Amino acid sequence: MSGSRFGFWVAILALLPAPASFAESPYFAWGYNSYGVPGLLDMPQAMSRPDAELDTQAFHFKGQTRVSSTFQVTPRLSGTFRYAFVRDIRRPGTTVVQHRLYDRSFSVHYRFFDERRMFPALAVGLNDIVGTGVYAGEYVVASKTLSPQLRATAGIGWGRLGSFGGFTNPLGVFSSSFKTRPGVGSSFGGTFHPDTWFRGPAALFGGVEWQASDRLRLIAEYSSDDYTREDGVAFDRRSPLNFGLAYRLSPSATLTASYLYGSAVGLQLNYTLNPRFPAYGSGRDPAPPAIVPRAQGGGAIWPEDAVEDTRLGPVLSAALAEQGLALDGLEQRGGRLRIAIRNEGYSTSAQALGRAARVLSRIAPAAIDTFAITLTTEGVPVTTATLSRDDLENLAFHPVAPDLLRAVTRVEDERSLPPALPGRYPVASWGLGPYLTPSLFDPDNPVRADAGVALRGRVAPLPGLVFEGVLHQKVIGNLDKSATASTSTLPHVRSDSALYFQADGITVPQLTAAWYFRPGRDLFGRVTAGYLETMYGGVSTELLWKPQNSPLALGVELNRVRQRDYNQLFDFRSYEVTTGHVAAYYAFSGGIHAKLSAGRYLAGDNGATLEINREFDNGWRVGVFATKTNVSAADFGEGSFDKGIRLTIPLDWVIGRPNRTRLDAVIRPITRDGGARLEVPGRLYERVRNRQASTIDASWGRFWK
Amino acid sequence: MMSRSVTCAVLALSLTGCAQIGAEGGEPGARLTRLLTGVTGSRDRVSDAGGGAVSPGGTASDARLIAVLPSRGATATLAIEAVNGTVTTWRTADNVTLSFDDGVLVSTRGLGFDLMGAGAEKTWAALAGGDAGPYRRQYRYLDGENHTAYVTAGCTMHDRGVEVVGGRSLRRHDEVCETFRFAFTNVFWRDGAGRVQRSRQWIGPEIGHVETAPAG
């Protein structure tokens, strides 16, 4: 249920001003086709969209509605997730008409050759690589820019894209097995069928695009899709020729109208955004307090002979609070002043350090010449940054201040805390607000959700010890409406989730005590006990090894949990399990982060999960994950194995103001019992990594913001 | 008294809220108030410069600067927040700051697409020498991924002679700059003592220029 804020961001994105436009390279694809793939109308083309662009679109044509989202993963590779509502379609190879079909599918498009002066760009793509095969089709396509306004595309397709005007597969020269396309054996969907790719009859398709004006693009294409399963049922396919016009409503929105297959009008609306280009640039953060050199009044509020003053803590605490930073403790030793802070204001630690340093430059007594700032999480130290007051004063307006200051700033692992500010503990807070718990792209219903009022409270009596609770009162929702009861042959560890949302009264999704600690250098520990999540309670333990600057981190998590009662209060059901994983995290270059974990899952099945994310230094994250355990596809049921898409959007990127909230959405087409993982609040990796040198350095320019 | 002024100072970093509370004296609270409102920092400059002059160079504690952002249709009055060497930082009531290094804009905050830093030395040298060029100026920004991005401009300085602006005779200097993707001109109007009294200076491609003039 980690996507409880999903609906919130959907609402916000809809209101978002158009992102900053940027000069489009002439090599970018000019649009997306009806499948959400860089393309013409129904056919693909060979170019790619700008790196990191995220497209969301809806297409409707004669009984088919395709909603898709495409991410340009690298400059050459894009991936598309699609949810289609299809009416009146024949079952494959029969005349039996299915009146309603919800289909989820996934496409990839890879440009393997760039356009040259005399040579076209080339790309290969696969539609529907893990779905049930409704849209299964593969292609190799070439596109050439003939003039800045004119492009031509020609390609060869297989599967759906080889169904009209097909001829014997030319790949048959390599092996006769290419000549026939085998049927998809499994009825569970959700798995790869490489034995069908590029098999069977092939056909040619093509088209031209004319950029008539900055806003208007005209498209004509010859389609190789025969719509065999829809023709004569949903509509009459009369012609292979499609015509359309795409009109750019704004830099981010495009409306496409088309006349398809000599039969009917199709409409498509695209909305794009790019994580690299926030609407408000580096953000409208209120200006930080100016650095005040000692020569011009920095630290002059204290009498010169008062080296230590008990009022320093409260004064500093109030000034830091003004900057969204909470002071946990401080320690003055000779000319070195060390403070421990909680960053409650900024999504990057670099900016928190910068703001703290600025406040120190104004308030720290003039005798202090070294500032040490310890970043903590739940009161536990992670990192100390040490910088010289002289450097801070002298570099404040240096043209290349970031590089010069970083060179003289030490950022290192920290295990000790300065003495706590008198009266700092216990730290208590609470909040009352709305909540939204969505469940998206279910096989039966694409959007289900509960909404209501949430009361959250937390008390930290000591650094590292946190008691936390969440109460929910549902106001409206349909998460309890599930078409069918679970028939899973595995223990019902997740497939009964609808039963947990039937209660009309107050529920307690979380009630925990957590202890965070530093067992050793580069080591971080956590023990959490209580009602951990909606469906499970028990004890969760975690140990993480994550050195500063290391791309590699290793973690172990071990949990003993029991299934909670459906009413989400304090009772338990009988199912109990020990679940846990060892995990390796690795940060590759180019913002690619991978996590491989192996262990035992909630249903007692053993296996491994691979997560691959592309992360941006501004906090955006787009990724995929998949879990394979020793549960067979048949026992797993629809979907064959657990997989999904993860999207994280930092709220400050959206609103252009300092904010630490990250909107996290997990799109898991089908939640089943195999490969299911426990949700535990407060997992260590992200909170540690975000306070360490490699992450601080990636956003170091924000120190000065 | 002390706790009241401390609280006021730290809760309202704005220039207006606390200025009258901080009485002279050795109390940390009072001095903190002055520090945070930037008064202390500029007092010395008053005696150094003889007071009175009002320019982005920053000389008087009660000085006010009018800044106009034509691209946003915004006008604001700024007061001195702090002085650091030759750089004076001016702040609006709604927490936008502009920093000028002896009259040359080197930094903005609170605008979004802020100018994070810029060099001023070449511009000073060119102002001192009348016509000059070509020379390079470097502008620093933060991009949408929090990465530092530099824009280098090639500039020439042109002495346009004396103009009467706002009732004063000021010498106009045009700094004509070109980058890979943009062209812009910074205009400085200087008084007889060589201080920048008015200016029109480039912040960046998204925001364009800021125009500055002394208030009143």
Residues A240 and A341 placed together within one structural domain of the fold:
no
Residue B40 and residue A297: Cβ atoms within 8 Å?
yes
pLDDT at A25: 57
Residue B138 is assigned to a structural domain of this protein: yes
Q: B36 and A704: CB-CB below 8 Å? A: no
Q: Residue A364 has what pLDDT?
A: 94
- B53 domain residue, yes or no: no
Residues of A in contact with B101 (CB under 8 A): 397
What's the gap in Å between the CA of B136 and the closest CA on chain A?
Answer: 13
Cβ neighbours of B74 in A, within 8 Å? none
Separation in Å, CA of A282 to nearest CA in chain B: 6
Q: Pick from B28, B89, B142: which is nearest to A290 by CB? A: B89
Query: Is the same domain home to A203 and A305?
Result: no
Q: Residue B113: which of A282, A398, A704 has the nearest Cβ?
A: A282
pLDDT at position A307 is 57
Q: Which residue, A566, A553, A457, A472, is CA-closest to A513?
A: A457
Interface touch B148/A700, C-beta < 8 Å: yes
Which residues 151-190 of B are in CB contact (within 8 Å) with A?
none
Which residues on chain A are in Cβ contact (under 8 Å) with B76? none
The answer on A315 and A255 residing in a single domain is no
Q: Output the domain CATH number for residue B146.
A: 2.40.360.10
Question: Distance between CA atoms of A675 and A678, rounded to whole angstroms?
Answer: 10
Point out which residues pair with A454 in neighbouring strands: A433, A472
**Residue A306 confidence (pLDDT):** 60
Domain of residue A149, residue span? 19-273
Select the residue of B10, B109, B144 nearest A322 (Cβ to Cβ).
Answer: B10
Chain A residue with CA closest to B5: the answer is A315
B7 in contact with chain A, both atoms CB, cutoff 8 A = yes
pLDDT at A445: 72
Q: Chain B partners of A363 at a C-beta cutoff of 8 Å?
A: 32, 35
Q: Which residue's entry shows tokens 């909404």?
A: A451
Q: Which of A289, A348, A396 shows the shortest C-beta gap to B146?
A: A348
Report the residue of chain A nearest B29, measured CA to CA: A301
Contacts of residue B28 in chain A, CB cutoff 8 Å?
A: 301-303, 309, 311, 315
Q: Across the interface, do B36 and A286 touch by the CB < 8 Å criterion?
A: no
Q: Which of residues 117-156 of B touch A (CB under 8 A)?
A: 117-119, 138, 140-148
The answer to whether residue B50 is domain-embedded is: no
Taking only Cα atoms into account, the Rg of chain B, rounded to an integer number of angstroms, comes to 18
Say how many C-beta atoms besides its own lie within 10 A of residue A91's C-beta.
11
Task: Report the residue from A281, A291, A350 with minimal CB separation from B206.
Answer: A281
pLDDT at B56 (0 to 100): 59
Examine the domain organization and report whether B88 and B23 are in the same domain. no
Tell me, what's the pLDDT at A130?
76
What is the rounded (10 degree) CA torsion for B93, B97, B100, B105? -120
**Shortest Cα distance from A308 to chain B (angstroms)?**
13
CA distance B169 to chain A (A): 31
Domain of A158, CATH number, reads 2.40.160.40
Q: Are A524 and A691 in contact (CB under 8 A)?
A: no
pLDDT at res. B55: 56
Same domain, A385 and A473: no
**Are A282 and B143 an interchain contact pair (Cβ–Cβ within 8 Å)?**
yes
Residue A289 lies in a domain: no
* pLDDT in the model for residue B73: 93
Q: Are residues B23 and B114 in the same domain?
A: no
Query: Which residue from A minimizes the CA distance to B146?
Result: A699
Residue A362, helix vs strand vs coil: helix
Q: Are B103 and B56 in contact (CB under 8 A)?
A: yes
Same domain, B160 and B68: yes
Q: Determine the distance in angstroms separating the CA of B167 from the nearest CA of chain A, rounded to an integer.
A: 33
B chain contacts of residue A24, beta-carbon cutoff 8 Å:
none
Q: How far apart are the first and last CA of chain A?
A: 34
Contact indicator for B77, B92 with CB cutoff of 8 Å:
yes
Inter-chain touch B32–A301, beta carbons under 8 Å: yes
Query: B25 and B70: one domain?
Result: no
- Alpha-carbon distance B179 to nearest alpha carbon in chain A (angstroms): 16
Instruction: Say if residue A568 is in the same domain as residue A641.
Output: yes
Q: Is residue B55 in some structural domain?
A: no
Test mutation, B147, B179, B206, chain A, max A CBs within 10 A? B147
Considering the domain architecture, whether residues A365 and A223 belong to the same structural domain is answered as: no
Res A131: pLDDT: 64
CB contact under 8 A, B28 and A302: yes
Contact pairs from chain A to chain B, CB under 8 Å: 159
Contact A276 B32 (CB under 8 A): no
Task: Report pLDDT for A298.
Answer: 87
CA distance A468 to chain B (A): 29
Pair B160, B167: CB distance under 8 Å: no
From residue A661, how far is each of A479, A516, A657, B208 by CA, in Å? 25, 21, 11, 31
Using the 3D structure, point to which of A273, A308, A324 is the last residue of a domain.
A273
Residues in B touching A294 (Cβ below 8 Å): none
The reported pTM is: 0.87
Residue A51 lies in a domain: yes
A238 and A315, same domain (yes or no) = no
DSSP state of A490: S
User: Is the backbone peptide bond immediately before A120 cis, with ω within 30 degrees of 0?
Assistant: no
Question: What are the residues whose beta carbons fall under 8 Å from the beta carbon of A609, sequence distance 6 or more?
Answer: A581, A595, A596, A597, A598, A625, A626, A627, A675, A677
Same domain, B96 and B142: yes
Among A276, A322, A653, select the one facing B13 at the smallest CB separation.
A322
- Both B176 and B70 in one domain: the answer is yes
Cβ–Cβ of A311/B28 closer than 8 Å? Answer: yes
CA distance A516 to chain B (A): 30
> Scanning every residue of chain A, which has its alpha carbon at the shortest distance from the alpha carbon of B145?
A618
Spans of chain A below 50 pLDDT: 1-23, 186
Same domain, B28 and B121: no
Contacts of A318 in chain B (CB under 8 A): 6-7, 10-11
* Same domain (yes/no): A668, A700: no
The answer to whether the CB atoms of A618 and B112 lie below 8 A apart is no
Q: Does the residue B48 lie in any domain?
A: no
Tell which B residues from 56 to 115 touch A, by Cβ distance under 8 Å. 81-85, 87, 89, 91, 94-97, 99, 101, 106-107, 109-114
Number of folded domains that form chain B? 2
Residue type, B102: D
Q: Which domain holds residue B7?
A: 2-37
SS3 category, A559? strand
> Has residue B49 been placed in a domain?
no
Is residue B133 domain-shared with residue B193, that is, in the same domain?
yes
Judge if A474 and A595 occupy the same domain. Answer: yes
CA–CA dist B64, B54 (Å, integer)? 7
Residues of chain A neighbouring B72 (CB-CB closer than 8 A): none
Strands in B196-204's sheet, in edge-to-edge order, are: B104-109, B97-101, B87-91, B74-84, B64-69, B208-214, B196-204, B183-190, B168-178, B148-165, B132-142, B117-118
pLDDT one digit per residue (tens) for chain B, 216 residues = 333 333 333 333 333 333 222 223 333 333 333 333 333 333 333 223 323 334 555 555 678 999 999 999 999 999 999 999 999 999 999 999 999 999 999 999 999 999 999 999 999 999 988 677 799 999 999 999 999 999 999 999 999 999 999 889 999 999 999 998 889 999 999 999 999 999 999 999 999 999 999 987
Query: Residues A493, A383: one domain?
Result: no
* Total count of domains within chain A: 3
Residues B160 and B207 in one domain: yes
Residues A398 and A372 in one domain: yes
Q: Would B195 be classed as within a structural domain?
A: yes
**Same domain for A626 and A546:** yes
Cis peptide preceding A426, ω within 30 of 0: yes
Which residue of A lies nearest to B143 if distances are taken between CA atoms?
A282
Interface confidence, given as ipTM, is 0.87
DSSP category for residue A294: G
Residue A75 region by backbone torsions, left for phi larger than 0, else alpha for psi between -120 and 50, else beta: alpha
What CATH number is associated with residue A470? 2.40.160
Residues of B in contact with A284 (CB under 8 A): 110-112
Query: Which residues does chain A have within 8 Å of residue B96's beta carbon, measured at their own beta carbons?
Result: 287
Same domain? For B181 and B100 the reply is yes
Q: Which of A106, A98, A67, A102 is nearest to A193 (CA)?
A: A106
> How does pLDDT run across A444-456, given as a tens digit for each residue?
677 788 899 999 9
The verdict on residue B184 lying in a domain is: yes
The reply to whether B116 and B25 lie within a common domain is no
Q: Residues B197, B134: one domain?
A: yes
Query: How is residue B34 written in tokens?
Result: 């002055």
